[in-house]
Amino acid sequence: MAGNFSITKQAGLARVGRLKIGKGVAKTPFFMPIATRGAVKGISALEVLNIGYEVVLGNTYHLWLKPGEKFIARAGGLSRLMNWPGLTLTDSGGFQVFSLGARSLKRFGQSKIKISEKGVRFTDPTTGKEYFMSPEKSIDIQLTLGSNIIMCLDECPPYPASYTEMEKAVKRTTDWARRCRNYFDRKIKENNLKDKVGRPLIFCIIQGGIYQDLREKSARELSAMDWDGFAIGGVAVGEPREKLQKIIEWTRPFLPENKPRYLMGLGRPEELVRAVRAGIDMFDCVIPTREGRHGRLFVFNRKKAKLDEKGEFYQAINISNKRFREDLSSLDTGCRCYFCQNHNLAYLHHLFSIGDSLAQRFASIHNLCFYYELIERLRMEIEKKFVKSLATEINFKG
């Protein structure tokens, strides 16, 4: 399944590319804002688009439960319902189901989910209604939602999972991926989408926790199948942060060079810098919007041009701190978000202090602008290094 992804420039392991999906194209590396239930919290689709984002992430589990995939299909699909002109990626729903099980085990002493080779049976904690999610059901929901990038159902045990538990999860993830692939191919053929613009992409998800041999096993088994892209899962489930780079190092050598790599659920700005330089192409995370809603904002150190991997190129401030109460300076004169260009820190401090929802909007949009600029700067860094290495090579040959 070649031709959807092309690498245009590369510097070391880092690469710049183009991911083509139907009539849409997304530049890589890219970051996806989270539209869990069909909305990036408090922000319109137009505002997300105006920042420059090309892809948003929706949550299969939540959209299935409410408002339901059939209603969304009648509305013209998730993009049409949101009035989002860009591309959408939907996760499989597996992470949310297994998180539900972990929370219920902690709260009630027993899990509210039952896992078998067939799939996962769980109870909606809000309504008490029982649901069953199988690999085929997950793909079916995502196709019905009209997603552009579809994720396979995987088993994602929370940290800390024992070696035996993770070994079983890796086996089940591979088995479920095969079923997802077969069902996806069948539905694409039934709908005559194989050679048409409307065909979505399908990604598998690599598991294995913090165990090197299981990460390698999962990557080897899944890379033997035909996928449009490869996701590294199970990296935002409570594992030690120092393990993240190791997980990428263990996994990457077994993945095809000509397919996009997606690190799920990460992360902080410095983690994105390290991951892009390690060869990752796609990211999503709740951090920019969630932190924004709580009054925490990311600000570039404009005097420091280099994006270091320790995170010294930025600072995170808490706008509720009393030192901002009468601060009439701009948050970041180099930021192009509406707040930074038109208001001062004291005003945002005031809005948070009175609980006005405008505060959360300003902060969330600013943080999304920060993340977008970060990815843009990383992309430019790769392009400059590529051009420099090319010039050096030409001079050497000359």
Which are the catalytic amino acids? 91, 284
Residue listed under structure tokens 């989002």: 84
Euclidean distance between CA atoms 187 and 193, whole angstroms: 9
Q: Tokens standing for 29?
A: 């590396």
Asked whether 243 and 273 are in contact (CB, 8 A), the reply is no
How many CB atoms are located within 10 Å of the residue 175 CB? 14
269-277 and 243-251 helices, crossing angle to 10°: 20
Cα-flanking dihedrals φ and ψ of residue 19, to 5°? -110, 115
Euclidean distance between CA atoms 300 and 306, whole angstroms: 11
Asked whether 17 and 281 are in contact (CB, 8 A), the reply is yes
Euclidean distance between CA atoms 189 and 317, whole angstroms: 52
Euclidean distance between CA atoms 159 and 157, whole angstroms: 7
Q: Tokens standing for 266?
A: 């990460």
Euclidean distance between CA atoms 32 and 87, whole angstroms: 10
